[in-house]
Amino acid sequence: MKKNSIALILLIFNLITYAQESNVGKLVSAAWIKKVIEGSDKNELISEFGKKIPSKTIDLKSYDNSNSYLNLTKINLDNDVDDEYLIFIGSYYANTMFYVVDNDFKIIYEEYLWLHNDYPQLKIYSSNDQYKFFSFKFLYGRGSGYWLFSNKIFRIDNGKVYLVDEFIDNSNETSNNKGINGMIKTSNIQEYGGQIFLYYSFDLYPHKTVLQQLGITEESLSLIEKEKQAVIYSYDSAKKKLVQNGDYVTSDMEKYAFEPGNDSLFLKAFSKDLDLIMENGTENQKKVVRYLRKN
């Protein structure tokens, strides 16, 4: 079974687990939040929180708290006058729950984050109006020569948290011995005037097994190399989504970023680029394109 299929199964399992154990709607103690802001003992605060808001990321029986994690951000994210609270919390820094708590101290959103060896990464995007986008890095799975991180972007509207977009942070696939492998990443993510700006980069190549089958002696052969493809997203208030302006990076390319190793989707997403290779590419590149389209 492919690594990304396993990651999807694990993700679905986690979603089902947390749908059954949802803490949305529960109240977080105002006194607890005050103690966090004042800098009280982190591990005591994590334990206190876990007793009232249970989750598998807080181990109340653990005696080793050296890698525990608690981060609270107080900020006004919508058009009212009161602040919200963004919380990452867990007994291990790479295995946390993320909570959005409204000004009435009620949990309005939660999500489980497993980041392997990384710390949670929160980003608040500035905006001309009071509504602010916020995002965190999410890991779908990783293994030997494979990983897939995304960026999830949210917005609060009328007291509800909306996932307004999700795009790749970086992915890497090296085990697809029947077709295309490589790395896809985004960079320089910024917000200006309510729009999100970022760059996509693609470095995609055939597996060495494919090269051997085709009698190509080159150790590596680049097929798709796109550096810093600029993309702009605007917020659609009716859809509660960020919508791309233009098609420099198509929806199929964005979809492929989440399904590295899916050669059928690769052929669809990069069909125009492959047509250009058939016109102007090297003979070895043309061999690979013919092989992929035939198989």
Tens digits of residue pLDDT in 254-284: 999 999 999 999 999 999 999 999 999 999 9
Question: Which pLDDT value is given to residue 248?
Answer: 83
Q: Are residues 47 and 127 in the same domain?
A: no
Length of the chain equals 295
CA geometry: angle at 75 spanning 88 and 40, to 5°? 55
Rounded-to-integer distance, Cα 180 and Cα 3, Å = 15
What's the structural domain count of the chain? 2
Q: Are residues 99 and 170 in the same domain?
A: no
Rounded-to-integer distance, Cα 131 and Cα 153, Å = 13
Question: Which pLDDT value is given to residue 246?
Answer: 81
pLDDT beyond 80 at 3? no
Give the pLDDT mean for 215-221: 92
Q: Are residues 200 and 262 in the same domain?
A: yes
Read off the pLDDT band of 287 (50, 70, 90): very high
Q: Are residues 135 and 273 in the same domain?
A: yes
Coil, helix or strand at residue 160? strand
Q: Which of 66, 95, 117 represents a domain boundary (last residue)?
A: 117
Count of beta carbons in the 10 Å neighbourhood of residue 165: 20
Q: Are residues 147 and 38 in the same domain?
A: no
CA-atom Rg of the chain in angstroms: 22
Read off the pLDDT band of 13 (50, 70, 90): very low
pTM of the model: 0.88
Q: Which residues lie closer than 8 Å to 80 by C-beta, 6 or more apart?
A: 103, 130
Q: Are residues 286 and 161 in the same domain?
A: yes
pLDDT beyond 70 at 18? no
Q: Which two tokens stand for residue 295?
A: 């198989």
Q: Which of 97, 117, 137 represents a domain boundary (last residue)?
A: 117
Contacts 24+ apart (CB under 8 A), 145-150: 145/172, 145/173, 145/174, 145/175, 146/3, 146/4, 146/172, 146/173, 146/174, 146/175, 146/260, 147/171, 147/172, 148/4, 148/7, 148/172, 148/258, 148/260, 150/258
Count of beta carbons in the 10 Å neighbourhood of residue 169: 22
Q: Which two tokens stand for residue 199?
A: 């760059």
Beta-bridge partners for 244: 233
Q: Which domain holds residue 23?
A: 1-117
- pLDDT tens-digit readout, 150-165: 999 999 999 999 999 9
Q: Are residues 91 and 223 in the same domain?
A: no
Q: Are residues 23 and 108 in the same domain?
A: yes
Read off the pLDDT band of 15 (50, 70, 90): low
Q: Are residues 129 and 41 in the same domain?
A: no
pLDDT beyond 60 at 16? no
Give the pLDDT mean for 155-176: 96
Rounded-to-integer distance, Cα 129 and Cα 126, Å = 9
Rounded-to-integer distance, Cα 244 and Cα 155, Å = 17
Rounded-to-integer distance, Cα 140 and Cα 148, Å = 6
Contact indicator for 83, 51 with CB cutoff of 8 Å: no
Coil, helix or strand at residue 61? coil
Q: Which two tokens stand for residue 120?
A: 């949670």
Question: Which pLDDT value is given to residue 195?
Answer: 92
- pLDDT tens-digit readout, 101-137: 999 999 999 999 999 999 999 999 976 677 899 999 9
Q: Are residues 291 and 148 in the same domain?
A: yes
Q: Are residues 156 and 285 in the same domain?
A: yes
Q: Which of 52, 82, 117 represents a domain boundary (last residue)?
A: 117
Read off the pLDDT band of 220 (50, 70, 90): confident
35 or 194, which is more confident? 35
Give the pLDDT mean for 21-29: 93
Q: Are residues 238 and 99 in the same domain?
A: no
81 or 19, which is more confident? 81
Rounded-to-integer distance, Cα 68 and Cα 2, Å = 32
